[in-house]
A and B are shown apart, each in its own frame.
Chain A
């Protein structure tokens, strides 16, 4: 029967156009793409085989409004009819996407997403509230990261469904409950990745308003990094994933302990340094005082010395002065000019008298002596001796006067001075005996 239907259907719907929204998009390793095409009232399964999928120039996305062309067939193992897509064209945007944009704009106009509404996340929360499903991957990720970073953290979970009809209401109530509980420092609200429909609860107005109304700061963590919901816009901090949210709300305890230790050590060090500095200043001060005292003593001693020396000098000057005065008096008394003049005047007549007497005697004496000297001269003249027949022999050319015969040798030339004239002679014989 299925085979008959299939033939019938394939014949009747061999080339059809459909318009709808892409949903339940799946692309397994085979390269074929499976999805559901739906509109407000109906849906149909669709398959895009690898060869057709590779011709697409854009990536298929959940919720995308599309116009497709293809043929109907029946998948016999399941007895389901489906459309085998030939071409897929995007048509505007999906209905959910439009709803999203509309709500976003409305809430933005109300100021719900304003930056100045956002509360700061406490640096060291003691209790972290978590609004998520107990069965998802998100809660495991959050617990693991919180435990790793801050092993003693207190975690309070408000379990909710994170997709489906009642999810939005549950999430909103959980947020209110945690606020009411009172001891929660920060709340993480979120879930793991999923389709746009799966994440839709986090786009619901009731959830957005509950986050905005929370007194406790809220960190949103919905799906993967690329998924952005209205909860992310209104939250005080948007984390790309549940793990990232956990990292954002608690620091690493070990680092805080280390920081605390470092601050404590530095406090001590600074105090020690300050004390050492003040001590040095004090010691310098003490040295300064001691120094001043020493200098004062020194100055006093120098003053004493100086005064002593001054006194001595004054004494010496006085003594010296007195002596000089006395000497000067003595000198002055000996140098009285009147006295000297008187003495001089008395001496002059005596001298002139003595001069006169002396002159007469001296003249007569000189007269006498000149006569005697003349007679003596006369008798001593060699010429007078020559006149008596003597002659003087002199060697030639030395002119040496001979007194002994052996002063000369034979052949010596001699000159004889007579009273009148001279003779030139030659020694022919020398007789050196004294007797002649």
Chain B
């Protein structure tokens, strides 16, 4: 699941920054996780950019088959009622 992937990637990125900040790693180790961090950061950004706003409705047709179709609420842009 992309959501889990993103969550894990962010967590790993945080961990990498923490590791780098402790700076008790040898240089080659640092470089390795640094590259990993940059890769993760790019992936995360890609996931965020790829996502597309969609509002859909899950319905069932007469044969009991599930379908989804786009939903455009006529009043969705109104102020939320209290």
Q: Is A263 touching B41 in the complex (CB atoms < 8 A)?
A: yes
A156, B69: Cα distance in complex, Å: 9
Closest chain B residue to A260, Cβ basis: B44
For B2, what are the chain A residues with a Cβ–Cβ distance below 8 Å? 126
CB-CB under 8 A from B52, the residues of chain A are: 152, 154
CB-nearest residue of chain B to A152:
B51
Whether B80 pairs with A264 at a CB distance below 8 angstroms is no
Q: Mark A96-139, 1 if CB is under 8 A from B, else 0.
A: 00000000000000000000000000111111000000100101
Interface residues of B in 1-52 (CB under 8 A from A): 1-4, 6-7, 10, 13-14, 16-17, 20-21, 23, 25, 27, 30-31, 34, 37-38, 41, 44-45, 48, 51-52
Q: How far is it, in angstroms, between the C-alpha of A131 and the C-alpha of B78 when the chains are bound?
A: 20
Given contacts A137-B81, A253-B48, A256-B48, is CB(A157)–CB(B23) below 8 Å? no
For the complex, count residues of A whose C-beta is within 8 A of B: 50
**Binding site of A, secondary structure by majority: helix, strand, loop or mixed?**
helix
Which chain B residues lie closer than 8 Å to A263 at the CB level? 10, 13-14, 17, 37, 41
CB-based contact A267/B38 at 8 Å: yes
Q: How far is the CB of B65 from chain A (nearest CB, A)?
A: 12
CA distance A185 to B68 in the complex (A): 17
Q: Contacts of B25 on A, CB cut-off 8 Å?
A: 274
Please name all residues of chain B whose beta carbon is closer than 8 Å to the beta carbon of A152 when the two chains form the complex.
48, 51-53
B1: chain A residues at CB < 8 Å are 126, 183, 185
**Contact code string A16-41 (vs B, CB < 8 Å = 1, else 0):** 00000000000000000000000000
Q: Which of A124, A192, A263, A277 has the most chain B CB within a 10 Å cutoff?
A: A124
Q: Are B7 and A123 in contact (CB under 8 A)?
A: yes
Residues of A within 8 A of B (CB): 122-127, 134, 137, 139-141, 143-145, 147, 151-159, 174, 177-178, 180-181, 183, 185, 192, 243, 253, 256-257, 259-260, 263-264, 266-268, 270-271, 273-275, 277-278
The 7 lowest CB-CB distance pairs between A and B, nearest first, are A270-B20, A152-B51, A137-B81, A141-B80, A264-B41, A267-B37, A185-B3
- Additional A-B contact list (16), CB under 8 Å, known A126-B51, A185-B1: A122-B3, A137-B80, A140-B75, A140-B76, A140-B78, A143-B55, A156-B57, A156-B58, A159-B59, A183-B1, A253-B48, A263-B10, A267-B16, A270-B30, A273-B23, A274-B30
